[in-house]
Chain A
Amino acid sequence: MVSAAWGGGGGGMERDPGPEGARRALGRLLEAVLASRGEANAVFDILAVLQWGVGGPPATSLFPQSEDHEETQEAVRACSRLFGALLERGELFVGRLPSEDSVMAGSQGATRKYKVWMRHRYHSCCNRLQELLAHASFEVKELALSTLMKFVQLEGAYPLEKPKWDGCYLFPRQLFKAVVEGLLSPENDCSLLLSRFREYLEHDDIRYHVMRAATDVVGRVADRYPEVPLTFWNNAFTLLSAVSLPRQECSFSTFYVKHVELSSTWKVVHLKEHRKAFQLMWLGFLRHKLPLSLYKKVLVVMHDSILPHLAQPSLMIDFLTRAYDVGGAISLLALNGLFVLIHQHNLEYPDFYRKLYGLLDPSVFHVKYRARFFHLADLFLSSSHLPAYLVAAFAKRLSRLALTAPPEALLMVLPFICNLLRRHPACRVLVHRPLGPELDADPYDPEEEDPAKSRALESSLWELQALQRHYHPEVSQAASVINQALSVPEVSIAPLLDLTAFEVFERDLKKKGQESVPLEFIPAQGLLGRQDDLCAQHFTLS
């Protein structure tokens, strides 16, 4: 088809050098096509230029390679104007498109022939544009995207298919699905284009159709490839996470395709349908085996932007429990989603606290999600109905871990432990056991996974006593709180959660102490210090 067009219209272009010339030439062709139907063959010339953009210019081209992008852009603009005008004029065939050859051979009227022929050109133009979405230059990609979206808008307003019944909702689904497919490319990273696409997502109908198209495309791509490339997942996640539904029911009024009046029979105007589509999309996405980095990304946004919009949040249980069992940082992140389900959707999770207890290892103080984890742990342990042995086990475990923690984490975890003791007076024996016998060893068993069998209640928090000798003054003070009877009001740990070492450092620097700085009174002798200093013992200057 395309090669035929080549033969037909190759000679119609005048070869002026430079993009300026190309634009003028294209402009003239455009005028000609729009002016009379007799000049319709000039469309081939325009499409030919467009074709170069996709497949590279033919060897005979006089246009230099460097100006290729501008040339293509000119062609895209010309197409946009041409088919835009044709769509508005209704000069494209409406209904099921018969094959070109059959119509040309048939004996229908010239107008019908022309319309069918033109519709075929429009079709190939759309195909070209979709291919241009994978173009190397971002400008071309962006222009192609906006042109396609313009066609979507116009096609929605002047539908190319006959309505099945009166008031039927028509949307150029085929065309739009092609656009989404182009966006979710398995080869190229489309994050820039997707961020450009975001602004279309503000329109309710576009959002709805994106969700449906995305579900489709993801399913198809995952089936097609045995090993789905990471770029596709990234693209898909970027698009999916960009979709955000409104929180509560409100009348959808921002439509990209303008309609004279909205009918309540259309699915697109109901939030419920949107939610269903949303749920389908995410479930379809999460059904596949995702790479670990993507797991984390999904879990980070799960509680905030996914769970509230699902029609049936409990369907996420499988995903979350599987993530919770992965271990490490992923488990920490899954906690948040699980918490929402337990808290709001009545999820019964067996051995939840035992698993939470198992999550506590020395790395919790060093991971990026420390603040979130401790915020949740605080929430989980805030219930006053928890058994004392459990809380004691948590307190003991945390104080064990505190022996390996950096100061900024200690500043948070020490008040955390003290809060636990305040909340649960039964656990105060951990810091105050007046008549207890002296023990040979700590009865607490750190290897035991079950908090009930860890014998934490028989132990004491000697770790905090050791931390009273910590080198940082504030940590030492925080650990010394247990020396006195604990005060009644809890200490809010919210401002301490996000504390970083740099902030601690800055705070120490800015702290105004005494008016003069105390000085060392033993005179310095050299870089490595005195002879009995460790540095002098183990290091040489050479």
Chain B
Amino acid sequence: MGKARPAAARRKGPGAPAGAPGGRARPNPNPFEVKVNRQKFPVLGRKARHAVGQPGVSRARAVQKRTQTLLKEYRERDKSNIFTDKRFGEYSSNMSSEEKMVRRFALEQQRQHEKKSIYNLNEDEELTHCGQSLADIEKHNDIVDSDSDPEERGTLSAELTAAHFGGGGGLLHKKTPLQQGGEEEKPRSRRELIEELIAKSKQEKRERQAQREGALELTEKLDQDWKEIQTLLTHRTPKSENRDKKEHPKPDAYDMMVRELGLERKAQPSNRMKTEEELAKEKQDRLQKLEAARLRRMRGEDEAGDARKPKHLSADDLNDSFVLDKDNRRLLSYTDGKMSIKEEQSREASDGESEEEQGEDPSEEDPGDSSDPEGHSDLESDAGSEEDRGWPDREPRPAPGERMTSDGHKARELAKTELPYTFAAPESYEELKSLLSGKTMEEQLVVVERIQTCNHPSLAMGNKAKLEKLFGFLLEYIGDLATDDPPELRVIDKLVVQLYNLCQMFPDSASNSIKFVLRDAMHEMEGAIEARGRAVFPGLDVLVYLKIAGMLFPASDFRHPVVTPALVCMSQLLTKCPVLSLQDVVKGLFVCCVFLDYVSLSRRFIPELINFLLGILYIATPNKHSHGYTLVHPFRASGKNSELLLVSDQEDTATWQRRGLSLGWAGGLKAQTKTEANHTRLSCLAVCLALVKRCVLLYGPLPSFHTIVRPLRALLTEHLAGCGHPPELQELCQSALADMEKQEQCCRPLVCEKSKPLPLKLFTPRLVRVLEFGKKQGSSKEEQERKRLIHKHKREFKGAVREIRRDNQFLARMQLSETLERDAERKRKVKQLFNSLATQEGEWKALKRKKFKK
């Protein structure tokens, strides 16, 4: 194959006739001009570019090119004046010569027109038609000798055209005298002609009208016939009954029908509506995907950071400000008219409900949630939904801290109706506080929502920063609400939803704000530890922040920039803060609950929590033997707080009923009566036992579970032995103990994972992939590129040098020929002179000789 191609070229070469010299693409060059570069070895896949050459031809081409460029320049080297060709479009190749002519003519005309004086109004240019002046045609109206326009088309009749424009209807005009024959030989006057024309056209019009009327009548008749047949065809009695009524608007109805059919909008092709199942499936798929991502983070598999996740989140619907769409609607409903407060409230309530419902759905569908410990979650969620239904009823009531008289309520109502619809985003925390202070819970929520709506990032440039700041301010506001006395936890409860939405929009700034408040809390605690060696339980705000952090961010991640510090913070609360009062117990138990909620999905082990529960159980134990367990740091075996949770009053024990602990009380300073305090103690103990039970469930599968719960077990048996508890607590104790017993202990000896055996050193030769022959191998891409460029530069340089040399040679040749020419000329002239002189001399001599002869 490699050999065949040059052979074919060669065969083809001689066969082709020789083309004109100097031509570029000559299929048949002169065989005597062809020079063949013989190849030593045929190489597969190599293009032979210089196998055949025509040195003579290419040299001639070069010389020609030089004469056209270099020589020209050389000859004009000392000349400074230039000849410019200003003919229009002389050198533009994209104009045909006719076009050029037309444009040049137009230019010429224009130039002529412009030349005349602007005051010379009369001197118009003469208009012509078929080379004759139009003025002449006006004068001689009957000279219709033009033979053009033989065809009969157009609405105007030929005579009319001829009469009005003088030309065109030559043939017809010639016919008319034939028709009228001998009647009137003499040419009619112009007036007569026109009258005749008018009459003729009127008649024509009449005829046309009559024809149209006839057609109409026929159509109507046809319609009637059709109607009759139609009634026969369709045996519909109502139609036939209605016929006489509809007789008059019948054509209209028909038209309407036709138009309707014609104009009906064509159905646009769109996405198929999704069925219920598909929607549900889509939702579930999305949740599953999110859950899978969560699980991956929980196991810490993508510690190195994966770039896919943020994309995934940004594509998420949740990020698309799903609440804000709703808010927009609400804003519209507010702006387009007066809106009564009732409506507002009901909408609010329904919104709240729908949100709760929305929130509940995922929790039911969440595969992670429906694991075995929450087997009874169905029952609970039912109960919860009942409670939810009760919520909106409760909501309109004022917050507990804001009890007021009916007068005050009315005034509040008035003020509420005057709530402005737009709010500027607050620039500082004080601004936000002044906006929100003195308002009821609902109003505060409305204000916050409106701030968000009015400053949606899609509306203006700086809104994003404003809303980012709003998150920080809201957080601070929540902290203030939590430290108030009494703490307004219901408002916080509602604001949390807003925080969640804001957080979904701005994860980075939200995480920074949360980090900031956490660092503040930790810093304070660290200061207290350094100053006094121990810290006190912080206010409710820190606890609320911790809880919120767990709701905004996935608490189950292996490592998370916000959650991990929050976990350390909680661990500090449980290890560094001694329990000094009943409120501390409540706070500590709340921290425990939050802690366990954090790890409820990831089931991670928290040693501090076990220690804390042990301590709480200890301070509730009546007769201490302190056998089988040791207390750790914040708790002491003896001291004034070692019997903090002990209830000695039998009556209180009997009247106690299990209730949830009041978080508000823990933050406030309200004193309790002795009975209340005792009840709270028992409730604390109940919560503690429930948490112990939960821990047992969570940590059951851990390898050294029994070692972990051994102290707890010892204390629980003591509790049971004490017998001072109400029966409910006894049951809790027993069930917790039973759960502990149930866990199987398996002590399988530990075995390290087998490490990969190290491969032996092998002596196989190193193989290098050869990509292309002839190229330099074995270097990096950049190196190859560099080499390629160097090579190219060298080649170009050589080429340029060669060109310059050839140019010089050419010029030298030209100069030489010029010199030779000049010399020849001179020689010729000198010769001529000598000739003439010789002739003169000869003549003179001849004369002299003549004279001399004479």
The finding on whether chains A and B are genuine partners in a shared complex, rather than unrelated, reads yes
Residues of A near any B CB (own CB < 8 A): 361-363, 365-366, 368, 400, 402-407, 410, 430-434, 436-442, 460-463, 465-467, 469-473, 476, 482-485, 500-502, 504-506, 508-509, 511, 513-535, 537-542
- 11 A/B residue pairs, CB under 8 Å, sorted by A: A404-B632, A433-B751, A466-B705, A502-B572, A505-B565, A508-B565, A509-B561, A514-B307, A519-B318, A526-B497, A528-B547
Contact A463 to B704, CB < 8 A, known contacts A469-B605, A518-B554, A521-B287: yes
Is A538 touching B306 in the complex (CB atoms < 8 A)?
Answer: no
Is B752 touching A513 in the complex (CB atoms < 8 A)?
Answer: no
Is A363 touching B632 in the complex (CB atoms < 8 A)?
Answer: yes
CA distance A405 to B605 in the complex (A): 12
CA distance A471 to B558 in the complex (A): 8
Contact A539 to B526, CB < 8 A, known contacts A366-B632, A505-B565, A509-B515: no
CA distance A519 to B556 in the complex (A): 11
Among residues 480 to 537 in chain B, which have CB atoms less than 8 Å away from a CB atom of chain A?
A: 489-490, 492-494, 496-497, 499-500, 503-504, 507-508, 510-511, 515, 518-519, 522-523, 526, 533
Contact A403 to B607, CB < 8 A, known contacts A484-B752, A520-B551, A525-B359: yes
Answer yes or no: B439 CB below 8 A from chain A CBs: no
Answer yes or no: B661 CB below 8 A from chain A CBs: yes
Nearest opposing residue in chain B for A367, CB measure: B633
Contact A403 to B708, CB < 8 A, known contacts A472-B564, A531-B380: yes
Tell me which of B310, B500, B565, B632 contacts A362 (CB under 8 A).
B632
Contact A519 to B630, CB < 8 A, known contacts A460-B747, A473-B559, A539-B590: no
Tell me which of B360, B489, B593, B631 contacts A534 (CB under 8 A).
B593
Is A514 touching B309 in the complex (CB atoms < 8 A)?
Answer: yes
Is B606 touching A533 in the complex (CB atoms < 8 A)?
Answer: no
CA distance A168 to B247 in the complex (A): 156
Cβ contacts under 8 Å, B504 to chain A: 519
Is A462 touching B704 in the complex (CB atoms < 8 A)?
Answer: yes
Tell me which of B493, B562, B568, B572 contacts A541 (CB under 8 A).
B493
Of the candidates A430, A463, A484, A529, the one having the most CB atoms from chain B within 10 angstroms of its own CB is: A529
Answer yes or no: B750 CB below 8 A from chain A CBs: yes
Is B565 touching A460 in the complex (CB atoms < 8 A)?
Answer: no
Cβ contacts under 8 Å, B363 to chain A: 522, 530, 532
Cβ contacts under 8 Å, B369 to chain A: 532
Q: Which 5 A-B pairs have the closest CB atoms?
A: A436-B749, A531-B384, A366-B633, A433-B749, A524-B500
Contact A517 to B561, CB < 8 A, known contacts A462-B704, A524-B551: yes
CA distance A333 to B523 in the complex (A): 29
Tell me which of B374, B511, B572, B663 contacts A532 (CB under 8 A).
B374
Nearest opposing residue in chain B for A437, CB measure: B749
Answer yes or no: B567 CB below 8 A from chain A CBs: yes
Is A504 touching B568 in the complex (CB atoms < 8 A)?
Answer: yes
Answer yes or no: B655 CB below 8 A from chain A CBs: no
CA distance A539 to B360 in the complex (A): 20
Is A465 touching B703 in the complex (CB atoms < 8 A)?
Answer: yes
Answer yes or no: B597 CB below 8 A from chain A CBs: yes
Answer yes or no: B846 CB below 8 A from chain A CBs: no
Nearest opposing residue in chain B for A532, CB measure: B377
Tell me which of B318, B492, B503, B515 contacts A527 (CB under 8 A).
B492
Cβ contacts under 8 Å, A537 to chain B: 660, 690
Is B558 touching A528 in the complex (CB atoms < 8 A)?
Answer: no
Cβ contacts under 8 Å, A509 to chain B: 515, 518-519, 561, 565
Answer yes or no: B692 CB below 8 A from chain A CBs: no
Answer yes or no: B431 CB below 8 A from chain A CBs: no
Tell me which of A362, A365, A432, A511 contacts B561 (CB under 8 A).
A511
Is A461 touching B750 in the complex (CB atoms < 8 A)?
Answer: yes
Is A508 touching B355 in the complex (CB atoms < 8 A)?
Answer: no
Answer yes or no: B10 CB below 8 A from chain A CBs: no
Is B702 touching A485 in the complex (CB atoms < 8 A)?
Answer: no
Answer yes or no: B553 CB below 8 A from chain A CBs: yes
Cβ contacts under 8 Å, B518 to chain A: 509
Cβ contacts under 8 Å, B464 to chain A: none
CA distance A134 to B611 in the complex (A): 50
Is B568 touching A482 in the complex (CB atoms < 8 A)?
Answer: no
Is B309 touching A438 in the complex (CB atoms < 8 A)?
Answer: no
Cβ contacts under 8 Å, B753 to chain A: 483-485
Interface residues on B, range: 35 or more
Is A517 touching B632 in the complex (CB atoms < 8 A)?
Answer: no
Is B593 touching A535 in the complex (CB atoms < 8 A)?
Answer: yes
Tell me which of B511, B551, B748 contacts A438 (CB under 8 A).
B748
Is A527 touching B568 in the complex (CB atoms < 8 A)?
Answer: no
Cβ contacts under 8 Å, B499 to chain A: 524
Q: How near does chain B come to A455, taking the closest CB pair, in angstroms?
A: 13
Cβ contacts under 8 Å, B300 to chain A: 473, 476
Tell me which of A400, A482, A540, A541 contacts B707 (CB under 8 A).
A400
Is B605 touching A467 in the complex (CB atoms < 8 A)?
Answer: yes
Q: How near does chain B come to A519, taking the closest CB pair, in angstroms?
A: 5
Answer yes or no: B440 CB below 8 A from chain A CBs: no
Cβ contacts under 8 Å, B422 to chain A: none
Answer yes or no: B745 CB below 8 A from chain A CBs: yes
Among residues 644 to 696 in chain B, which have CB atoms less than 8 Å away from a CB atom of chain A?
A: 659-664, 687, 690-691, 694
CA distance A51 to B705 in the complex (A): 76
Is A520 touching B554 in the complex (CB atoms < 8 A)?
Answer: yes
Interface string of B736-755 (1 = CB under 8 A from A): 00000000011111111101
Answer yes or no: B31 CB below 8 A from chain A CBs: no
CA distance A461 to B300 in the complex (A): 23
Contact A471 to B356, CB < 8 A, known contacts A483-B752, A532-B374, A539-B660: no
Is B589 touching A466 in the complex (CB atoms < 8 A)?
Answer: no
Cβ contacts under 8 Å, A528 to chain B: 493, 547
CA distance A439 to B705 in the complex (A): 15
Is A534 touching B568 in the complex (CB atoms < 8 A)?
Answer: no
Contact A518 to B553, CB < 8 A, known contacts A438-B746, A470-B605, A542-B664: yes
Q: How near does chain B come to A525, taking the closest CB pair, in angstroms?
A: 5
Is A460 touching B708 in the complex (CB atoms < 8 A)?
Answer: no
Tell me which of A432, A470, A519 contacts B752 (CB under 8 A).
A432
Interface string of B705-749 (1 = CB under 8 A from A): 111100000000000000000000000000000000000011111
Is A466 touching B704 in the complex (CB atoms < 8 A)?
Answer: yes
Is A541 touching B490 in the complex (CB atoms < 8 A)?
Answer: yes
Q: How near does chain B come to A478, taking the closest CB pair, in angstroms?
A: 13
Answer yes or no: B408 CB below 8 A from chain A CBs: no
CA distance A465 to B508 in the complex (A): 35
CA distance A363 to B523 in the complex (A): 24
Answer yes or no: B477 CB below 8 A from chain A CBs: no
Is B752 touching A431 in the complex (CB atoms < 8 A)?
Answer: yes
Answer yes or no: B544 CB below 8 A from chain A CBs: yes
CA distance A473 to B706 in the complex (A): 24
Contact A523 to B359, CB < 8 A, known contacts A484-B752, A501-B572: yes
Answer yes or no: B603 CB below 8 A from chain A CBs: yes
Q: How near does chain B come to A434, taking the closest CB pair, in angstroms?
A: 5
